[in-house]
Amino acid sequence: MSVEVLVATMHQNDTSLIQQMNLQSDAIIINQTNEYNYEKIMNHSNTVHMYSFAERGVGLSRNNALMRSTADYALLADDDMVYVEHYPELVEKSFEKHPDADLIIFNLEEEEPTRYVIRKDFRVRKRNYMRFGAARVAFRTDRIKKKGISFHLLFGGGTPHSNGEDTIFLKDCLEKGLKIIAVPVTIAKLTEERESTWFKGYTEKYYRDRGALFKVLSPMFYHLVILQFIVRKYKKNQNMPSRTKQFQYMLEGANEMKN
């Protein structure tokens, strides 16, 4: 079985990212820059296809990689990851252990953990999928393609709404009947060399973007999701707007996504 890493990156001027990320399998690198180019690189016995596009949007990058992937298993990746040794075998063994899984979510190592840490195998469902980002997800490529699943082009870095494309992707997978399993296996370490590409503080745009995301995730009950978010996340000492302002901004963002 073959494993392929699908990397979303920007402004790469050479192929050094292959070594920086410790890629040990085939890979497709989508480099959003100011020109169009293609390069095929042999990395030991593995093939890396590097495409440069003069366009923006992380969802577009992931779709460009997904449509070109031919491997049995694909791993979504960002450029601030360093893969552990033998990660292709870890991916293959995880799918062998869970032969009915269409997607498997792994752990990422961080010096200061901010992401949810998986401590045992469990089924990912609608009640808990929102805790995971894209750059820890592997999937059976043919299952994603047969279901016609892709990344939303209005969410994520470089789009009108600064994040959420990965959450929408997982929601679409669940709604189309795919099985997602989380496993306590670490496949990469985050270098943490760059600031968040989307979080710039608790600004009006932050709340408008959350409202737009909640409207897409829950078209019928987004009002309740917004209220729950405000109750759960509000802290007076975090320079947040008032609860009333948060609700107003998120409703305005949700209204942007109405048909």
Which pLDDT tens digit goes with each residue over 208-225? 999 999 999 999 999 999
**What is the model's pLDDT at position 195?**
59
**Considering the chain, what percentage of its residues have pLDDT values greater than 70?**
96
**What is the model's pLDDT at position 110?**
92
**198 is a domain residue:** no
Same domain, 83 and 115: yes
State the total domains in the chain.
2
**What is the model's pLDDT at position 196?**
57
**197 is a domain residue:** no
Same domain, 139 and 104: yes
Same domain, 52 and 148: yes
**199 is a domain residue:** no
Amino acid identity of 87?
Y
Same domain, 155 and 241: no
**What is the model's pLDDT at position 237?**
58
Same domain, 163 and 79: yes
Same domain, 147 and 33: yes
pLDDT category, 241, cuts 50, 70, 90?
confident
Same domain, 150 and 236: no
Can you give the CATH number for the domain in which 104 is found?
3.90.550.10
Coil, strand, or helix at residue 16?
Answer: coil
Which of 46-60, 178-192, 229-243 bottoms out in mean pLDDT, i.e. has the lowest?
A: 229-243
Which of 107-121, 167-181, 194-208 bottoms out in mean pLDDT, i.e. has the lowest?
A: 194-208
DSSP 169-234: HHHHHHHTT--EEEEEEEEEEE---S--SS--SS-HHHHHHHHHHHHHH-TTTHHHHHHHHHHHH-
Q: What share of the chain is helix, strand, coil (3-state, %, to 5)?
A: 35, 25, 40
**196 is a domain residue:** no
**241 is a domain residue:** yes
**225 is a domain residue:** yes
Same domain, 25 and 106: yes
- Domain containing residue 37: 3-190
**195 is a domain residue:** no
- Categorise residue 223: left if φ over 0, alpha if ψ from -120 to 50, beta otherwise: alpha
**Average pLDDT of span 170-190:** 97
Same domain, 79 and 172: yes
End residue of a domain, out of 190, 219, 237:
190
Same domain, 84 and 182: yes
Same domain, 38 and 115: yes
Residue 51 near residue 38, CB atoms below 8 Å: yes
Amino acid identity of 35?
E
**55 is a domain residue:** yes
**What is the model's pLDDT at position 114?**
85
Same domain, 182 and 250: no
